[in-house]
Amino acid sequence: MRIAVLTSGGDAPGMNAAVRGVVRCAGYYDMEVFGIERGYKGLLDNQMALLSKRAVSGIIQRGGTMLMTARCPEFEEYKYRRLAAENLANHGIEGLVVIGGDGSFRGMKELYEEFGIRCVGIPGTIDNDLAYTDFTLGFDTAVNTVVNSINNLRDTMSSHERVVVVQVMGRHSGDIALYSGIAGGAEVILVPEHPIKYEDIAKRLTHNKRVGKRSAIIVLAEGAAPVDEVIKEIKKRTDLSVRSTVLGYIQRGGAPSQADRVLASRFAERAVSLLRDGKGGRVVGVRDNKIIDDDIKTALAMPHKVDEDLYQLANILSV
Ligand code: ADP
Ligand code: F6P
């Protein structure tokens, strides 16, 4: 049996570990794997080649993706997806592993529903915005990267008795902000899923200063509000010294954590097994630390929600 693997959309630490896992698990079952470069773009341009087990040596510890990734707006059009299906057939490829986020999964769903291409998705995005799985690949590493930055910021903010607004990624999901905020001991966490109450924030910061807190960390998910607005609103209501730091793409790179490497390997094993069993239109995930797979349509229909218990806990811990 011959299958293919591609990485698509925003990259995430652990994508390489997943590619390696797919190649090694498929090889174990005597299946061949084609690596497609630059996501759906490479699929349209026939940028693909056989990957040997040795071709994926030395990548488990690397961030980014050896297959490269790209955005491919054409893929939203039927005629290009038909070309993709033809290219796969011309190469004798019977199954496709797509490593990416919800956009990549939407493309994969179309390919499966329109042309019967057996596709399996591995969730690779730092945003953790796919509701059917507890965690996506790259999230743990990204959170650790943010926590390290918060630690550094805490040092200098405490010395100067300042407040800092740290902007982290997450256009539609507050998970990076929430988890890194809790792990970094943040005083305030702002997520797109909850409205911002500047009056409450100002009261909390003033109270914290009065009871002896020398600094304050505000973790802001990029989708919650612009950094400048947050600073302006705090300055309007307090006399605190406020600074900001935008972490940006730093969060998308770096060596994957142990958790992401193991998760990637477990996801890859399930994805290969599904294709080997002749299944398609599935996405793999993790729930309660067990690897699961779900129908892609059902999975994509689940709305992302922030963990309300964690959000409440963050508020309790921060005062
Ligand atoms: P991510 O997979 O990280 O969410 P994007 O949303 O940018 O990243 O999607 C990656 C690619 O998936 C897009 O460039 C496009 O090729 C494909 N894609 C996204 N949405 C759709 C869709 N509705 N139909 C077909 N393909 C899509
Ligand atoms: O990978 C997801 C993400 O990190 C978002 O949180 C962020 O807004 C976006 O990618 C930015 O990526 P790009 O500039 O590649 O579109």
Residues 124 and 214 in one domain: no
How far is the centre of ligand 2, averaged over its atoms, from the C-alpha of 127 (Å)?
Answer: 8
User: Does residue 311 lie within any of the structural domains?
Assistant: no
Closest ligand to 84 CA? 1
Q: How far is CA 205 from CA 9, 28, 97, 201, 210, in A?
A: 38, 57, 48, 6, 9
The total number of residues shown for the chain amounts to 319
Closest ligand to 124 CA? 1
Residues 244 and 280 in one domain: no
How far is the centre of ligand 1, averaged over its atoms, from the C-alpha of 198 (Å)?
Answer: 35
How far is the centre of ligand 1, averaged over its atoms, from the C-alpha of 283 (Å)?
Answer: 15
Q: Rounded distance, CA 240 to CA 138, Å? A: 35
Residues 274 and 151 in one domain: no
* Burial of 68 (C-beta count, 10 Å sphere; 0-12/13-18/19+): middle
Residue from 11, 102, 127, 129 carrying the catalytic annotation:
127
User: Does residue 319 lie within any of the structural domains?
Assistant: no
Please indicate whether residue 101, judged by its CB atom, sits closer than 6 Å to ligand 1: yes
127 carries an active-site annotation: yes
Which of ligand 1's atoms lies nearest the C-alpha of 74? Answer: 16
In this predicted structure, what is the pLDDT of residue 319? Answer: 80
Residues 131 and 45 in one domain: yes
Q: How far is CA 22 from CA 1, 44, 70, 239, 287, in A?
A: 13, 22, 20, 55, 21
Q: Which residue in the block uniquely carries the two structure tokens 């990549």? A: 104
In this predicted structure, what is the pLDDT of residue 318? Answer: 86
Residues 215 and 266 in one domain: no
Residues 125 and 155 in one domain: no
**Residue 150 CB contacts under 8 Å (≥ 6 apart), including other chains:** 166, 180, 183, 184, 185, 186, 217, 219
User: Does residue 236 lie within any of the structural domains?
Assistant: yes
The total of structural domains in the chain comes to: 2
Count CA atoms closer than 13 A to 25's CA, side-chain side.
23
Residues 120 and 157 in one domain: no
Q: Which CATH number does the domain housing residue 36 bear?
A: 3.40.50.450
The CA R_g of the chain, rounded to the nearest whole Å, is 22
Q: How far is CA 312 from CA 164, 182, 224, in A?
A: 21, 11, 17
Which of ligand 1's atoms lies nearest the C-alpha of 124? Answer: 3
Is the whole-model pTM more than 0.85? yes
Which of ligand 2's atoms lies nearest the C-alpha of 249? Answer: 4
User: Does residue 22 lie within any of the structural domains?
Assistant: yes
Residues 229 and 108 in one domain: no
Residues 266 and 118 in one domain: yes
Q: Rounded distance, CA 209 to CA 300, Å? A: 44
Identify the domain containing residue 47 by its residue range.
Answer: 2-138+256-301
Q: Which one of 218, 234, 252 terminates a domain?
A: 252
- DSSP assignments along 154-212, one per residue: HHHHHHHT-EEEEEE--SS--HHHHHHHHHTT-SEEE-TTS---HHHHHHHHHHHHHTT
Which of ligand 2's atoms lies nearest the C-alpha of 173? Answer: 6
Mean pLDDT in order along the chain per 10 residues (319 residues): 98 98 98 98 98 98 98 98 98 98 98 98 98 98 98 98 98 97 97 97 95 96 98 97 98 98 98 98 98 98 95 92
User: Does residue 306 lie within any of the structural domains?
Assistant: no
Residues 271 and 260 in one domain: yes
Please indicate whether residue 125, judged by its CB atom, sits closer than 6 Å to ligand 2: yes
Residues 91 and 195 in one domain: no
Please indicate whether residue 169, judged by its CB atom, sits closer than 6 Å to ligand 2: yes
Count CA atoms closer than 13 A to 302's CA, side-chain side.
16
